């Protein structure tokens, strides 16, 4: 039956075929193809605790036609292909457990077109969000999704990324109109028109978003844009405990305040940001918030929020009225990942994320803190709590194997906890290799249909094998 | 190659197998199964100009287990199954060109649970939007998506429906967290968790939304809910010509005014609504608008909109300040389909929709009006123009074959026009049988991958065959 997971649909490393492909790519792409170990390892390197599994070669493509040629060749020879943008994924999405060719799309960084009247634009996969927002500055428009890293749009689409603004603007799922992609057989497709909505056919756009290069390689993206708000205001407030902070978030969402950002930092994360970004905040659970709208609208939202903070026992609500103060705050927030190293110099940082229905947020975060203590780990908690999404960053001694094993156990329990609360093992980092073991628990019988789709669109299993769907690599 | 469209993957009508299935369903479901012609025809009946193709029997299911049993049986015997909700689809989605069993889910109308704190709820597929909104009234929440018909949520999900509020609240694609569905082999899946966002695995939720029962039958839905706005205001304004009205819409969207509804009625539609709903409006291109927000926010939006109307040459902006006046307006808008019959009593109404990038809206609507005249047809234009989406309702003489042929040609040209402007042949009605012939033009090489997915998830092609993907029946 097509919908069964087929345990034999795995791959072996075919050294002979890989050598042939490398030779051919070298002939065709010259200096744009490399088998040098440093670049290969850099392209398999993942910002996780997972062991690096380098690809056999890296090809630097310049356009969709290049990608199509590489994929066609690899398809003919039955060799894996792995797409690479900025290398900022967190769950081993870039590892090459079966070898193969890494396709680096970072040179595909053209902003193809901007249609200000339609609030959309077209970019190549290697464009980064900061690059686009710099380019858009004079149009009064911006692209709101902001994962912590300076990721590429190809990578952001492929991992269904989100970030601090998702509570108001949605995730990559909600902000893409169409994709150009190279499929497993090398053919190029466009998934949809530029219309704002459509009821025509299967939603290939959403199927490719979040598929992490396992179904096709995204080469161009039509993005929805948003108007830069007329007014922005934001600030910081502290709470006596995590639960009060979570309750303030829950009440804010339930009141329908269209908050643009609402981020929780636990005591450890505040400590780290103080050390790294010199914020000088009191060390207690803290919310960073931001409101977008008209002058009057923003003032109204802020008033309503201030009432909620007071009701929840929050204190010292400090407004960052000047743009540079806000920028300092959010730069600190975006540096949270790097800041956490300051708590334990020389450590390795293993980051995970989970997402639960917001009614379970306080329970889930409290239980997570209890587990961190129980396992004797050092960790920060920070998150996009308006969506029920939070991150745990574990700071591990690279020499302490016992601690690493406890961390692994903790991460498994965190995923199970989120799933048991009606949530998901990953709100925004994706599955990659790291979360694959939780897919069956999260999806049950639905997983077999993901496997059937994978097999239908990539029958040779050459597209980023060993990711997302278990028993496929 | 898996991704090729296989012209042999079609079906024949297997009378023997159908007879066996009918016998078995009769034994098992008793009075809940019928082969009576009246009910069969009613269940194949479609609100279109398409010829009714009745199923061979109709089974009235009461729960997911019933659906699973019927589908399993039909899967074993290789007999088509077609899901039925309220019967309000417009593109022949319910026809049974290869015979088979219609599964009527209207008795599955339980509201399973409401989680007010999470702004979500769980409903069975047969629940209608009005039923849910009545039920929710005391919670301060509502479900915003409102297709013209009193559709069921199963049908709304399966056709990726939207409606007047979509410009602000999105479509069914954006307002569903998870689905329970019976797949082609009878197995039951849950597509996702209740978390507000997730980066885990392929987006089966979005794949089933809009698949019109060709990949699985949706039996339960977790819906996102919205807070009933603190304040609502709305009104009506007339314009000297269609272009000015479209320009006002375009400027409203581009200014970032979060308009909740913005609907265009052309002169003919205003005439029809006056006749049917006694609106007493001046007969000219007219916009119906509505704003949602706080008291102050709504006032601010209305002020900004009034300035735009003035700039665009609009006149006589009338506010419907009282709830009953607003209700009368929107009831008239929702009755537009029925109202149009008043223009030509005894006619049949063939409705189509198209959706283009908003920068092309004025061009597309003007060209559509020109084509209506060129083809010598009587038609109204009405639409959710904030999304670039509009409907054409043709009023045809049931006896005039020549007129019907001209109408068919017109509809084909309308679809081509929308596609040529970077839009889609259907913004919200779906593909069914009616738009299947435009799929290749709209999707090109991507269509082969839709076919591959269909074949992978429904290898026997029993799920609503002859819809969406051409060459599949």
Of A188, A225, A224, nearest to A204 by C-alpha is A188
In this complex, the residue of B201, B430, B455 whose CB is nearest that of residue A439 is B201
The reply to whether A193 touches chain B by the CB within 8 Å rule is yes
pLDDT of residue A8: 41
Task: Give A-chain residues touching B452 at CB under 8 angstroms.
Answer: 456-457
The residue in chain B having the minimum alpha-carbon distance to the alpha carbon of residue A224 is: B357
pTM: 0.96
In this complex, the residue of B203, B210, B445 whose CB is nearest that of residue A209 is B203
In this complex, the residue of B118, B201, B443 whose CB is nearest that of residue A431 is B201
Averaged pLDDT of chain A: 93
In this complex, the residue of A185, A192, A448 whose CB is nearest that of residue B3 is A185
DSSP letter assigned to residue B220: E
Out of A254-258, B217-221, B454-458, least confident range: A254-258
Percent of chain B with pLDDT over 70: 97
Give the count of beta carbons closer than 10 Å to the beta carbon of residue B430.
Answer: 28
Q: Testing the interface with B: which of A193, A202, A253 to mutate, by most B Cβ within 10 A?
A: A202
The full set of domains in chain B, from first to last, is: 15-106 (3.30.43.10), 111-227 (3.30.465.10), 231-427 (3.40.462.10)
The reply to whether A460 touches chain B by the CB within 8 Å rule is no
Say yes or no for a CB contact (<8 Å) between A173 and B210: no
- Per-residue pLDDT reduced to its tens digit, B375-427: 999 999 999 999 999 999 999 999 999 999 999 999 999 999 999 999 999 99
In terms of DSSP H, where are the helices of A30-123?
37-44, 64-77
Q: Testing the interface with A: which of B199, B302, B446, B449 to mutate, by most A Cβ within 10 A?
A: B199
pLDDT of residue B326: 87
Residues 436-455, chain B: which have Cβ within 8 Å of A? 438-439, 442-450, 452-455
Q: Are B222 and B120 in contact, with CB atoms under 8 Å apart?
A: yes
Residues 206-245, chain A: which have Cβ within 8 Å of B? 206-207, 209-211, 215, 226-227, 229
DSSP letter assigned to residue A297: H
DSSP state string for B63-122: SHHHHHHHHHHHHHHT--EEEESSS--SSSTT--TT--EEEE-TT---EEEEEGGGTEEE
Residues 102-121, chain A: which have Cβ within 8 Å of B? 115-120
Say yes or no for a CB contact (<8 Å) between A118 and B358: yes
pLDDT of residue B10: 60
pLDDT of residue B7: 40
Q: Strand pairing partners for A182? A: A188, A217
The residue in chain A having the minimum alpha-carbon distance to the alpha carbon of residue B170 is: A197
Q: Are B207 and A201 in contact, with CB atoms under 8 Å apart?
A: no
Most confident of A233-242, A320-329, B48-57: A233-242
Give the gap in angstroms from C-alpha A16 to the nearest C-alpha of chain B. 24
For residues B328 and A160, the model is more confident at: A160
Say yes or no for a CB contact (<8 Å) between B204 and A430: no
ipTM: 0.96
Whether the predicted pLDDT of A320 surpasses 90: no
The reply to whether A429 touches chain B by the CB within 8 Å rule is yes
Task: Give B-chain residues touching A186 at CB under 8 angstroms.
Answer: none
Q: Are A255 and A306 in contact, with CB atoms under 8 Å apart?
A: no
User: Any residues with CB less than 8 A from the CB of B49 and at least 6 apart, and which?
Assistant: B348, B350, B396, B404, B407
Residues 354-413, chain A: which have Cβ within 8 Å of B? 355-359, 387-389
Per-residue pLDDT, averaged over B172-184, amounts to 98
- Interface contacts A/B by beta carbons within 8 Å: 295
Whether the predicted pLDDT of A322 surpasses 90: no
With both helix axes pointing from N to C terminus, report the angle between A242-254 and A361-374 in degrees, rounded to the nearest 10: 160
In this complex, the residue of A115, A199, A468 whose CB is nearest that of residue B359 is A115
Task: Give B-chain residues touching A197 at CB under 8 angstroms.
Answer: 162, 166, 171, 173, 355, 387, 389, 427-428
Of B331, B226, B338, B236, nearest to B282 by C-alpha is B236
Task: Give B-chain residues touching A184 at CB under 8 angstroms.
Answer: 3
d(CA B177, CA B172): 10
Residues 296-325, chain B: which have Cβ within 8 Å of A? 296-297, 300
Q: Are A82 and A465 in contact, with CB atoms under 8 Å apart?
A: no
Quickly state the pLDDT bin for A109 (edges 50, 70, 90): very high
Say yes or no for a CB contact (<8 Å) between B160 and A459: no
Quickly state the pLDDT bin for B59 (edges 50, 70, 90): very high
DSSP state string for A141-202: EE-----SS--BHHHHHHTT---TTHHHH--GGGSEEEEEEEETTS-EEE---SSS---SS-
Q: Are A174 and B174 in contact, with CB atoms under 8 Å apart?
A: yes
Per-residue pLDDT, averaged over B187-211, amounts to 98
Q: Strand pairing partners for A190? A: A180
């Amino acid at each position: 039956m097509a919908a069964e997971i087929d345990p034999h649909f795995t791959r072996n490393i075919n050294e002979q075929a890989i050598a042939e492909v490398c030779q051919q790519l070298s002939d065709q792409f010259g200096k744009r193809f490399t088998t040098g170990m440093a670049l290969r390892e850099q392209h398999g390197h993942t910002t996780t605790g997972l062991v690096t599994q380098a690809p056999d070669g890296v090809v630097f493509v310049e356009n969709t036609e290049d990608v199509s040629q590489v994929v066609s060749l690899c398809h003919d020879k039955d060799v894996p292909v792995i797409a690479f943008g900025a290398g900022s994924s967190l769950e081993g999405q870039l590892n090459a457990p079966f070898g193969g060719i890494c396709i680096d799309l970072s040179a595909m960084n053209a902003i193809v077109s901007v249609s200000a009247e339609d609030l959309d634009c077209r970019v190549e996969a290697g464009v980064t969000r900061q690059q686009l927002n710099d380019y858009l500055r004079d149009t009064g428009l911006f692209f709101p999704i902001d994962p912590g890293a300076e990721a590429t749009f190809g990578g952001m689409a492929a991992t269904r990324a989100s970030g601090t603004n998702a509570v108001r603007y949605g995730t990559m799922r909600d902000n893409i109109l169409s994709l150009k992609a190279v499929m497993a057989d090398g053919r190029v497709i466009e998934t949809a028109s530029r219309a704002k909505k459509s009821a025509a056919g299967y939603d290939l756009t959403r199927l490719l978003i979040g598929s992490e290069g396992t179904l096709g390689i995204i080469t161009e993206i039509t993005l929805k844009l948003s108007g830069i708000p007329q007014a922005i205001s934001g600030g910081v407030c502290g709470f006596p405990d995590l639960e009060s902070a979570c309750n303030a978030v829950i009440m804010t969402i339930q009141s329908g305040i269209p908050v643009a950002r609402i981020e929780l930092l636990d005591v450890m994360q505040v400590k780290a940001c103080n050390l790294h970004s010199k914020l000088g905040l009191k060390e207690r659970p803290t919310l960073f918030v931001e409101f977008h709208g008209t002058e009057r609208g923003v003032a109204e939202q802020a008033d309503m929020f201030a009432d909620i903070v007071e009701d929840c026992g929050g204190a010292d609500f400090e407004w960052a009225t000047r743009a540079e103060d806000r920028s300092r705050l959010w730069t600190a927030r975006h540096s949270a990942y790097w800041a956490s190293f300051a708590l334990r110099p020389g450590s390795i940082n293993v980051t995970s994320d989970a997402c639960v229905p917001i009614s379970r947020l306080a329970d889930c975060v409290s239980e997570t803190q209890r587990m961190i203590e129980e396992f004797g780990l050092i960790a920060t908690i920070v998150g996009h709590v308006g969506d029920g999404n939070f991150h745990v960053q574990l700071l591990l001694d690279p020499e302490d194997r016992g601690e690493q094993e406890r961390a692994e156990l903790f991460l498994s329990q965190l995923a199970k906890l989120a799933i048991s609360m009606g949530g998901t093992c990953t709100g925004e980092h994706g599955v990659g290799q790291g979360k694959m073991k939780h897919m069956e628990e999260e999806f049950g019988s639905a997983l077999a249909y993901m496997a059937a789709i994978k097999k239908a669109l990539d029958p040779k299993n050459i597209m980023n094998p060993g990711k997302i769907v278990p028993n496929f690599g």
